[in-house]
Structure 1
Amino acid sequence: MFAAPAPPHDGLSSYDYIAVAMYLLGTIGIALYFAKRQGSTEEFFLGGRNMPWFAVGLSIMATLMSTISYLAQPGELIKNGITMLVGTLAVPLNILVIFMLFVPFFMRLRLTSAYEFLELRFNYTARAMGAALFVFMRLGWMGVVVYTSSMALTAMTRGNIPQEYQSALIYFVIVGVGVFATVYTAVGGMRAVIWTDVVQFLVLFGGTLITLGYIATTTGTGPAHWWETASTVTESHASPPIFSWDIRVQRTMVWAICMVFFWTICTHVSDQVVLQRYFSTKSLKAARNSYLLAAGADFVVLVLLALCGLALMSFYLEHPTFLPLDADTGEHVSVSSNFADKVFPYFIGHQLPPGVGGLILAALIAAAMSSIDSGVNSVSAVITTDFFARLNPQGAEKMSELKLAKILTITIGMISTGVACCVAYIVISHKINIFEVMQPAFNMFLGPLASLFVIGMFLPRCTARTTIPAVMLGTVVAIIWSYWKPIAGLDYWKLINEEWDASVVIDNAPTFTLSTTVPFLVAVISAGILSLIFESSTPHSGSGYTWYQIMKRDPDAPNVSTTEK
C-alpha cells in the first residue's frame, strides 16, 4: 500500500538551506586544496595534462548538462511532449563520428587553445574569428545558465518570500552564484573545476532518482501510467509529428534528431570547453575513454530527466490543486503553461520532505556552477592564448601569464553575471521558455564556429580567402534564423508594403531545431563551392594540417604550436 502524497508545504526549510551551505563549503574546500598547485598556465588551464579519464568524462557531461538541460528537458516534455527526447536516437552516430574522427585528431595536436589550429591551417584572422565566436557563444551560455539556476531557486522559495520580492530574488541569486563560481575557479584552476564537476554530476544524478522515487512510491504509479496520463493533454504529447517539409513546424522527430546530431558534432569539433578537457588527459586512449563515459552518462541522465518530466506532468494533472495560484487570475496555474520550466524546481521545493529538497537544490546550483567554472576557465584560456599572448607578447612577458589568467577569470565571471541579468530581464518580460532562449542567446554562434574547423579538416583546397567569407555567410544566416521574429517585425517592412502583415511573419518563424544545422551546412557547402572556383589543387602553407595529414602523426608526439608555421 502506498502513502498518498502530502499537500505542498510553503517551500524550503532550514534543513534545505543547511544542505546547500554544506555543499558550498565543500566546493570551496576543493578549490583551496588545489590552489597550492597553481604554478603555470598549463596547470591552471589543463591540470598539468594528467587528469584521470573518468574525472574528465564526468566533467564533460556535467558541464554540457548544466541547469539549462536539467530544467529545460523536463519543462520541454511537460509543455510540448517527447519530440525533443527522440533526438537521443542520434547518439550512436555521434559516438562513431566523435570517437573515430575528432578525438584522435585533436589529441595529436594537444594544444592549449583549440583555435591555434585555425592559424596553423589558415591564418591568424581565422583564429581570431573562431576565438571571438567562441567567446560570444560561451558568454551568452553562461548568462542563461546563471539565470536558470536563479529561476529554479525562486520557484522553490515560492511561499517563503512575498510575491513582490520574487523578481528581486532572481537578480540576487544571479549575482551570488556568478560570484561564487568565479572565485573558486580563479583559486583552484582546472583541477578544481574537474573534481567539483565530478561531485556535481553525482548530485545531479541523485536528484533525478529522488524525484522519480518519491512520485513512484507516493502514487504507486510508474512510467507506463505517467505516459498514459501525459498523452491525454495534447496530440503532440500522444503522437508527436515525425517529419514536415514546412520549416515553420517547430518540433518534429526528424528535426529533433538533426538538432542533437549537429549540436553534439559541432560542440565536440570546435568548443574549447570540451576540447580543453581532452587536452588535460594523458593520452589518446584516456581521451577516448573520457568521451565514451561522458556520452553514456549524458544519455542516461537525459532519459531520467525525460522520465521526470512525464512523472511530474502525471503527478500535477492528478493533483492540480498542488500547483501554485496565478497572481493575476487567482486560479491554480496549468502544468503545461508557461510555468512548465518551473514545475521541476517547484516540486523540489514544495513537495519533497525537508532536507531532501535542499540536496536537489544543491544539484541545481551545482549544475550552474559546473558550467560557469568551465566557461570562465575556457574563455580565459582563449583570451590569454589567442589574443593577449599572441598580439602582445611583450605585455605577456611583463605580466605573469598565471596572474593574467586569474585576472581574466574574475573579469569574465563578472561579465557573464551581467549577461545573466540581461537574460533574466528578457525572459521575464517576453515570457519565453528556456529552450526558446538558447538559440538567440548563444547557440547561433555554434554552427559557424564548427564550420571553420570542419572546412579546415576536410576541405584541403580551402584557404583563408574562401573559408572566411563562407563562415561569415553562415554567421549571417545564423543571425537571421535566430532573430527572425524581431527582424520580420521591423517597421521597415511596412514602409515597403503597407499591406505587409508583420504578425504573420513573426508567427511563422523557422524552427529553432535547425538553427545550428542550417548555418553550419551553408558555411561548409559555400566554402567547398568557392574553393572549386577560386582555389587551385596545388598544396599551400596549411595543407599539412588537414585531418588526413594530422592523422599520420604519432598521437604521443610533443605538442605543436603556431610557431611551426
Structure 2
Amino acid sequence: MNLGYRDVCLFLVLLFLIFAGCSAPEDRVVSGELRQEALEQLQSVLRSGQKWEKVHAAECLLDLGYSQDITDIFREEETLSGTEYYYRIGIWRVLARAAASPAEKQKWVDSVSSVFSKPELPDHLHATESLAKLGISPYRVSPSIADSILNSYHNSLWLYVLWGKAYSGEEEMNQVKSKLLDIVCSKKETDTIRRLAAYALRNMKNINDEQWSALADAACNEPDTSLAYTYILSSAFVNTPADSLVSPLAVYCKEALLNELSNSGKPENYEALFALAEKGVDEDLPLLTSLVREETAAMYKNKEDIAVAASNAILRIDRRQKYTLHGIDWGVIVLYGIGMLLVGFYYSRKARNTEDYLLGGRTMRPFAVGLSLFATMVSSLSYLSYPGEMILNGPAFFIGMIIFPLIYYIVGWFLIPKFMEMKATSAYELLEKRLGLGVRMLATFFFLTLRFLWMATIIYATINTALVAIVDIPPSYAPYISVFLMLLTITYTSLGGFKAVVTTDVIQSIVLWSGAFLTIFVVSMHFNSLTAWLPDHYLEHWSPLRWGADVQQRTTIGNAMVMLLVWFICTNGSDQMAVQRYLSTKDLRAARHTFGISLIATFVVKIFLAVVGLAMIAYFTANPHFLDDGQSITGQADRLFPKFILIGLPVGISGLVASGIFAAAMSSLSSGLNSSSSVINEDILKRLIPRLVSANPLRQVKKISVLVGIIAILLSLVIGNVQGNLLDVVVKVVNLLVAPLFVLFFMAIFVPFATSKGTIIGGLASVAMAIVAAFWQFMGITVLWIMPSALFVGIVVGVIASLSEKLIRSLSR
C-alpha cells in the first residue's frame, strides 16, 4: 500500500469536517447549577456541621468521588477529638475509607478494631457497627469476643456482629443474608432488631429474587406505626431487581417511602432518602431539590441530615444518567466499516494464488508491513488495557520499555536471520526439519490455541469493556455484537487475504494514533493547559516505584523489563503472525527494518496510551459525576477511556475514536484469522490430511478463516470468568502459551543436542508452569512473571530431558 500526499490530505480534510460538525455533549438531567448546589451543601456540612453530620457528609462525598480535603479535615478532627468516645469511631471510619493506600487504611481499621477488642469501652457498639460498614469481619479481629456476643441474647450489638460475620467468606455472606431476612420477617424479634436487620440488608444489597420477594412482602405487610417500617421499605426498594422496578411491590414500596418523606416529624425519613439515592429516577428530582433548599429542610427536626441525604440522592441520580452516541458518530463508524469491506473486495481481485493470499506475493514494503505488525501487536487489548494499567498501577510497566534497544538487537540479529534463511510459508517447517513432525504438531497446537484465545479475548474486551461503556446495551446483546464484529472482519479478511490485512492495518494505525492524540488534546482544552492536568506528584494509590525484579511483587520496573523482553523475544521468535510478516519482505535488511518500525511505533503509542491514562485520572478526578454510580476511578480503570470517548469528546470525534478501538480489534482479528488459516492449511491439512486438500487451495483457506472466526466467537463467551484487570486477563489468557511455544523454537535453534522427546517434554513443562503460576499463584509468582518463569522452566526441563535421552541412548549401545 502507498500512503501518498493525497491520502494524507484526504484524512486531514475528514478530520476537519468532523471537527467542524462537532457539538457539545447533550444536556444532563441534573443541571450544573443543581449539581453545584448539592455539592456545596455536602461540603458545607463537612466543614461546619455537627460531629456526626460531618461524618455522614464525608461518607457521602467519598461515595461520590469528591475526596478532596476530607483526609485533611478529619486528621484535624482526630487531633482535636481522637480520644472522645463515640465520635472517634466515626473519625477513624472516615479516615479508613478516605485512605489512599492499603497501609494507611489498615492504620485506621486497627484503631477501630482495638475498641472492638475491649468490650468494656463505652463505644464498643459503635466500633462493631463500623467494622461491619467497612466490610471487616469481627472474627478477624477477635473470634472469641465475636463468638461470645453471637451466643448471647439478641440486641443491637448482636445484630452488628452478625452483619460483620458476613464478610468472613462467601458462604458466611449467604448465610447471614438469609438470617437477616428471617429476622426482618419474624414477629418474635423486637422492632429495633428488625429495623437494624433491614438496615444491614439495605447496605449489603445483592439478595436473590426469591429473597427480595419475601422482603417486599414483609414491607407491604408492616404497619406504618412500626419502628422498622421505613427501614424495611427502604431495604426492599433498594434490593429491587432491575427488571422488577415497575412491579406492584416495588411501586408500593416507593410510594410508601415518598409518603414517609412528607412527615417532617419522623427521624426515619433520612433512611427514605438513602433509598432514593440508590434507586431514585429523574422524576424524583423536584422533591429532592426542595429538600436541599434551606426553607424546606428547616421543617424537619434533623434538617442537616435531610439536606445531606437529599444532596447525596441528587448527585447519585446524576451519576446514573445514560448516554448514547450521536447519529453523526454512528455515521462515522458505519462509513469506516464499509471502507474496510471495500478494501477487502479490492484486493480479492488481485489474489491469484495462496502465496498472494497468505504472504502478499512476498513483495510487501517494509514500512507498510512494519505498521501492520505494530497494529497487530498493539491490538484493542493494548488500546484499552494500557490506559487502565497507568490509572490503576502507575508508570512502572511503561518505564520498563527502556529494554527496547536490547530487544531490537536480540530479535534482529539472532532470531529474524534464522527465519529468513528458509523460504517457507509456515515458521513451523523449521521445527520439523530440526526435530521432527511431533514437535511441529505441538507447536501448531500451541499457536492455534494461543491465537484462538487471543482473538476471543479481543472480542470480549472490545464488547464488554469498550462497547458497553460507549453504548448503553443490555449484556444479553453482547454475543450478537461479537458475531457481527467477527463476521465483518472475516468478510474483508477472507476476501482480500494478506494484502487486505496489511492495508487495513496501516489505515487502522493512523486512526489508533489519532484517537490517543485527540483525547489528550481535548483534555488539555478542558483544563486550558497542555500540562496542568499532569500529576505533580506520585499518586498515593499507585504501587511504590521500585527498580528491582521481584517475582512476588506485581509491578516493579525490573519486572516490567523482564516481562517485555521475554514477550517480544518469544513472540517474534515463534509466532506465525510475526514470522509471516518477516517472510513477506524481500530480504533480511527489510525484515529488520520491519521489526524496527514496529518497535518504534509500539513505543510511541504505549507512551501515548500511558499519557491518556494520566489524562483520564485528571479528567474524572475533576468530574467525578461522570463516573458510574457506586464506582471509583480505580474501580473502573479499564473503562474510563471508553467512557471518556462517549462523554468527553465532541460529537463526531467520539465516533472517530470509537472507530479506532474497533479498528484495532479488527486489525488484530484479521491478522489472527489470516495467520491461523495459514498454519491450519500448511501444517495440518497439507502435512497430515492431504486427502482433504482442495483442488482450489485459495477457496479452502478462505473457508478455514470462517471456521477460525466461529471458534473464536464461542471462546469469547467464557473469557469473562478470568479474574483481574484487563492487563492481567491478557497476560493470564492471551499470553499463556507464548513462552511454551518459544521453548520449542529455542531448543530447535540454539540447543544443538536437543531431541524431539526432550523438546516436547520441555514445552509441556512450560505449559504446566504457566498454568499453575497464572491461576494458582504457584510460589507466589505474580502476573508479570508468568511468562519468564514458564520460559525458564521449559528450557531447563527441555535441556535436561534431551541430555538424559542422549545419555540413555549412549549407555544402551
The verdict on a shared fold, with TM-score over 0.5 as the criterion, is yes
Q: Give yes or no for the alignment of 1:180 onto 2:180.
A: no
Other-structure match for 2:715: 419
Return the match for 1:98 from 386, 393, 411: 411
Return the match for 1:458 from 746, 750, 765: 750
State the alpha-carbon separation in 2 of the partners of residues 6 and 316 from structure 1.
Answer: 16
Other-structure match for 2:448: 135
Other-structure match for 1:334: 632
For residue 535 of structure 1, give the secondary structure of its aligned residue in structure 2: helix
Other-structure match for 1:232: 539
Other-structure match for 1:543: none
State the alpha-carbon separation in 1 of the partners of residues 585 and 547 from structure 2.
Answer: 40
Does the aligned pair in 2 maintain the 1:448–1:471 contact within 8 Å?
Answer: yes
State the alpha-carbon separation in 2 of the partners of residues 470 and 364 from structure 1.
Answer: 38
> Following superposition of structure 1 onto structure 2, how do residues 160-559 of structure 1 map, counting pairs within 5 Å?
161=472, 165-223=473-531, 225-228=533-536, 231-236=538-543, 239-243=544-548, 245=550, 247-326=551-630, 333-337=631-635, 339-396=636-693, 398-424=694-720, 426=721, 432-484=724-776, 509-535=780-806
Offset of residue 534 of structure 1: 3.4
State the alpha-carbon separation in 1 of the partners of residues 410 and 593 from structure 2.
Answer: 15
1:90-142 superposed Cα distances (whole Å, 9 cap, x missing partner): 11110111111111221111321111111001000000000100000010000
Offset of residue 439 of structure 1: 2.9
Q: Give yes or no for the alignment of 1:68 onto 2:381.
A: yes
Does the aligned pair in 1 maintain the 2:25–2:651 contact within 8 Å?
Answer: no
Offset of residue 514 of structure 1: 0.9
1:267-326 superposed Cα distances (whole Å, 9 cap, x missing partner): 000000111111111222221111111111110000000000011111111221232323
Q: Give yes or no for the alignment of 1:41 onto 2:377.
A: no
State the alpha-carbon separation in 2 of the partners of residues 172 and 422 from structure 1.
Answer: 15
State the alpha-carbon separation in 1 of the partners of residues 539 and 739 from structure 2.
Answer: 37
Greater CA drift, 277-286 or 167-176: 167-176
Offset of residue 222 of structure 1: 3.8
Does the aligned pair in 1 maintain the 2:359–2:583 contact within 8 Å?
Answer: yes
Other-structure match for 1:156: 470
Letter in 2 for 1:524: I
State the alpha-carbon separation in 1 of the partners of residues 342 and 26 from structure 2.
Answer: 38
Query: Which one has a bigger Cα radius of gyration?
Result: 2
For residue 515 of structure 1, give the secondary structure of its aligned residue in structure 2: helix
Other-structure match for 2:187: none
Letter in 1 for 2:670: D
For residue 634 of structure 2, give the secondary structure of its aligned residue in structure 1: coil
State the alpha-carbon separation in 1 of the partners of residues 377 and 542 from structure 2.
Answer: 31
For residue 258 of structure 1, give the secondary structure of its aligned residue in structure 2: helix
State the alpha-carbon separation in 2 of the partners of residues 278 and 8 from structure 1.
Answer: 51
Letter in 2 for 1:153: L
Structure 1 gap segments, 5+ residues each: 327-332, 489-507, 539-565
Q: Give yes or no for the alignment of 1:108 onto 2:408.
A: no
Letter in 1 for 2:434: R
State the alpha-carbon separation in 2 of the partners of residues 349 and 134 from structure 1.
Answer: 36
State the alpha-carbon separation in 1 of the partners of residues 479 and 546 from structure 2.
Answer: 38
1:222-263 superposed Cα distances (whole Å, 9 cap, x missing partner): 45742326x334252xx4233364x33221111111111100
TM-score normalized with structure 2 length: 0.58
Greater CA drift, 132-141 or 513-522: 513-522
State the alpha-carbon separation in 1 of the partners of residues 790 and 505 from structure 2.
Answer: 32
State the alpha-carbon separation in 2 of the partners of residues 8 and 347 from structure 1.
Answer: 16
For residue 251 of structure 1, give the secondary structure of its aligned residue in structure 2: coil
Other-structure match for 2:94: none
1:317-368 superposed Cα distances (whole Å, 9 cap, x missing partner): 1221232323xxxxxx21111x110000000011100000100000000000
Structure 2 gap segments, 5+ residues each: 1-23, 29-322
State the alpha-carbon separation in 2 of the partners of residues 384 and 360 from structure 1.
Answer: 36
State the alpha-carbon separation in 2 of the partners of residues 460 and 223 from structure 1.
Answer: 55
Other-structure match for 1:56: 369
State the alpha-carbon separation in 2 of the partners of residues 244 and 61 from structure 1.
Answer: 27
Offset of residue 42 of structure 1: 0.9
Q: Give yes or no for the alignment of 1:15 onto 2:307.
A: no
For residue 109 of structure 1, give the secondary structure of its aligned residue in structure 2: coil
Does the aligned pair in 1 maintain the 2:620–2:633 contact within 8 Å?
Answer: yes
1:525-560 superposed Cα distances (whole Å, 9 cap, x missing partner): 222233344327x9xxxxxxxxxxxxxxxxxxxxxx
Alpha-carbon distance change, 373 to 6 in structure 1, aligned in 2, over 3 angstroms: closer
Alpha-carbon distance change, 8 to 343 in structure 1, aligned in 2, over 3 angstroms: farther
Offset of residue 399 of structure 1: 3.7
Offset of residue 509 of structure 1: 4.7
Greater CA drift, 32-41 or 63-72: 32-41
Alpha-carbon distance change, 279 to 223 in structure 1, aligned in 2, over 3 angstroms: farther
Does the aligned pair in 2 maintain the 1:62–1:367 contact within 8 Å?
Answer: yes
State the alpha-carbon separation in 2 of the partners of residues 232 and 6 from structure 1.
Answer: 30
1:402-426 superposed Cα distances (whole Å, 9 cap, x missing partner): 12211100010111111112224x2
State the alpha-carbon separation in 1 of the partners of residues 457 and 709 from structure 2.
Answer: 13
Does the aligned pair in 2 maintain the 1:64–1:371 contact within 8 Å?
Answer: yes
State the alpha-carbon separation in 1 of the partners of residues 585 and 729 from structure 2.
Answer: 34
Alpha-carbon distance change, 7 to 283 in structure 1, aligned in 2, over 3 angstroms: same
Offset of residue 7 of structure 1: 8.7
**Count of aligned pairs:** 492
Does the aligned pair in 2 maintain the 1:7–1:351 contact within 8 Å?
Answer: no
State the alpha-carbon separation in 2 of the partners of residues 75 and 285 from structure 1.
Answer: 37
For residue 234 of structure 1, give the secondary structure of its aligned residue in structure 2: coil
Other-structure match for 2:342: 29
The sequence identity of aligned pairs, in percent, is 32
State the alpha-carbon separation in 2 of the partners of residues 353 and 87 from structure 1.
Answer: 34
For residue 334 of structure 1, give the secondary structure of its aligned residue in structure 2: coil
Offset of residue 169 of structure 1: 3.5
